[in-house]
Amino acid sequence: MSTAVQTQEQGRQPKRVRLLAGEREADETVNSVLLCNEYLRMGRKRSLKSLAQSLIEQAAAQGKQMSLNGTVKRLEALSSRYSWVKRAEQYEAGQEIARNRSKAQIMSSGMAQTHERVNLLNELVHAVAGALGEKSLYGKRLKMIGFGEAAQTVTEEFFRADEIKAIRGLLKDLAEETGGRIQTHNVNLQGLAGFLSSAAAFHGDGVEEAQVMERTEAEETGQDLP
C-alpha cells in the first residue's frame, strides 16, 4: 500500500513529511507531498497514469473503488499546481549526483586503485616464488604402467612447470598494471634459470624445461618465438 493511501486509510496526518525534491508550497497538504514523492520514486519511466493505476489497485485491495479518469485528473491538477515535472528533473539530477559520488568512492578505494592491485600481485609473486624455492624444481609422483597382472607402480620425476607458469602470469599482470614490460624482477629468476639449465643437463633431454625458459626469455625481451 502506498504511503498516501495508508495515510488516508488511517485518517491521520504525519507530523512531518519531507519532499524528495523542490520546495514545499505553503498550501501543499501532507497527502499532496506523499503523492508527489511516490511519483518521484517511480523513476525515469514515471507517469501520472501509472501512478493512478497503482493507487486504484491499492484501494481495491481495501475494498474501495476509484475511477481511472477521475484519479488521473486529480493527479494532473496536483502535478500542474506543484510542478511535479520540474521536481522530477531535480530528483533525477540529485540521484545522478549520488550515483557519481558513490562510483567515485568505489573507484578510489580498495582494489580499484592501481597501487593496491600492484601490492597484492607483489605479495602473490613472492608467495609463489617462496613456495617454489622451498621445493626442488622436480617433484616425484606415482605412475601406473602396464595392464592387468603385469601392471606395476613406478615413481617418476616431473618438472614443476605449473609453478613457473604461475609466476610468469603474475609478472605479466604486474607489467600491465605498471604500464610496461618488466625487465627486472624482485624474484630470483636468473637463479632459477641457472639451476634449471644445470638440472636439465643432469636429467638428460630437458625439453619441457627448455621450452618454458625459452618462452620466458622471449616474452621478457619482446621477441617472437619461431
Neighbours of 17 (CB within 10 A): 19
Confirm if 186 and 225 have CB atoms less than 8 A apart: no
Per-residue confidence at 205, pLDDT binned at 50, 70, 90? very low
Give the global pTM.
Answer: 0.48
Task: Express each pLDDT in 155-197 by its tens digit.
Answer: 887 777 787 788 788 888 888 877 765 455 455 555 555 545 5
Confirm if 181 and 171 have CB atoms less than 8 A apart: no
Annotate 135-160 with DSSP letters as a single string: S-SEEEEEEEES-GGG-EEEEEEEE-
Task: Express each pLDDT in 75-91 by its tens digit.
Answer: 999 999 999 999 999 99
Per-residue confidence at 37, pLDDT binned at 50, 70, 90? very high
Closest CA relative to residue 164, chosen from 180, 187, 198, 145: 187
Q: What is the pLDDT of residue 69?
A: 93
Largest CA distance in the chain: 99
Q: Residue type for 180, please?
A: G
Confirm if 182 and 175 have CB atoms less than 8 A apart: yes
Q: If DSSP codes are grouped into helix, strand and coil, which group holds residue 172?
A: helix
SS3 content of the chain, % helix, strand, coil (to 5): 65, 5, 30
Per-residue confidence at 102, pLDDT binned at 50, 70, 90? confident
Measured at the CA of 87, the angle between CA 82 and CA 89, to 5 degrees, comes to: 145
168-181: b or e for each residue (b if 16 or more CB lie within 10 Å)?
bebbebbbeeeeee
Cell numbers placing 224 = 617472437
Q: What is the pLDDT of residue 114?
A: 78
- Name which of 51-55, 140-144, 183-187 the model is least confident about: 183-187
